[in-house]
Amino acid sequence: MKKVLILLSIIIVSCNSPKKEEKKTIKEWTLKEVIKIDGINPIGIALKGEELWLSDSDHNRLVQIDTTGNIIKTVNDFDRPMHIDANTTSIYVPQYGIDTVTVLTNNTRKVVPLQIELDAPAGVSTYKDELAIVDFYNNQIHYNNGNQWSSFGSEGNANGQFYYPTDVQITSNEIWVADAYNHRVQVFDKKGVFVRAIAWDQGINAATGIFVSKDEVFVTDFENDRVLIFDHKGVLKQELKDKVNKPTDMIIKENILYTLNYRQSTINAYVLESVLKK
């Protein structure tokens, strides 16, 4: 009987003792460096081959920098260049102030011929022979599949509608749009059909920039000084806040994530590290 009582009390004590918190190893972006880019107020970032290019809209120019922030080259005389994009040979520059998209190849500039009348192009994306343009005041996306243009979107907050969109990215199967003042990201198929919205429940105040990598989606929360990281389905994975100040855009180069701080003229550099999480 005594033995039974002892056994029972051991069981009870073990049941009431606090459970060991399970920890698992996950990978998170960790801030490694804040790079100063004095005199540049960056809005967009793009990789032309291995070259890092910034749009410095306040000074109407594009700037090529190295990974320590040194200016390598400056190209002037743009009119408010915003979210740029690039491939290995050319930089695509939406000129917000004069309603054109210009392609800069070496020192040659060509305007993308369009039938549509843009009203403040805020961003472009190029993917293979495809091109997409964000039309800020018309609340539309114009998409060229390599052969022809199509447009989608209108002003509003329903699915498929926009309220001042500012950035776009084409991926293999989808078109991602930073629907800035609906404070969300919308995803479309390449026919312009709405697929899903993400980030709408994260209290974002102006989702002005977007970058989609193979596994993740990076979204700038401009007013709240955050960069939010989601998986492609929209599940929040991480929030970057430390040293983030009026973020505008992001890119990954050689496994380093670069995020732009518009106001502070700095770029944050992050690396993926394994961390123990509850």
Partner 1 sequence: MKTKIIIMLILGLVSVSTIQAQKQRDDFKIQVDGLGCPFCAYGLEKKFKEFKGIKNVAIDIETGDFTFTFPSDKKLTLLQVKTQVEEAGYTPVTIKITRANGEIEVSEKEKE
Q: Which residues contact partner 1 (rule: CB under 8 A)? A: 41, 43, 57-58, 80, 82, 96-97, 120, 122, 136-137, 164, 166, 180, 205-206, 208, 222-223, 246, 248, 262
CB of 97 to partner 1, least distance (A): 6
Give the residue with the Cβ less far from partner 1, 29 or 55.
Answer: 55
Give the residue with the Cβ less far from partner 1, 97 or 234.
Answer: 97
CB of 246 to partner 1, least distance (A): 8
CB of 170 to partner 1, least distance (A): 20
Of 154, 192, 148, nearest to 170 by C-alpha is 192
The total number of residues shown for the chain amounts to 278
Give the residue with the Cβ less far from partner 1, 80 or 109.
Answer: 80
State how far the Cα of 14 lies from the Cα of 49, in Å rounded to an integer.
Answer: 60
136 and 95 in contact (C-beta within 8 Å)? no
Three-class DSSP category at 247: strand
Provide the phi-psi class of 222: left if phi over 0, else alpha when psi is between -120 and 50, else beta.
Answer: alpha
Give the residue with the Cβ less far from partner 1, 80 or 232.
Answer: 80
Q: Alpha helices, DSSP H only, in the chain?
A: 2-16
CB of 33 to partner 1, least distance (A): 25
Give the residue with the Cβ less far from partner 1, 57 or 126.
Answer: 57
Task: Extract the tokens encoding 43.
Answer: 């809005």
CB of 195 to partner 1, least distance (A): 25
CB of 88 to partner 1, least distance (A): 28
DSSP, residue by residue, 91-144? EEEEETTTTEEEEEETTEEEEPP-SS--S-EEEEEEETTEEEEEETTTTEEEEE
Give the residue with the Cβ less far from partner 1, 248 or 259.
Answer: 248
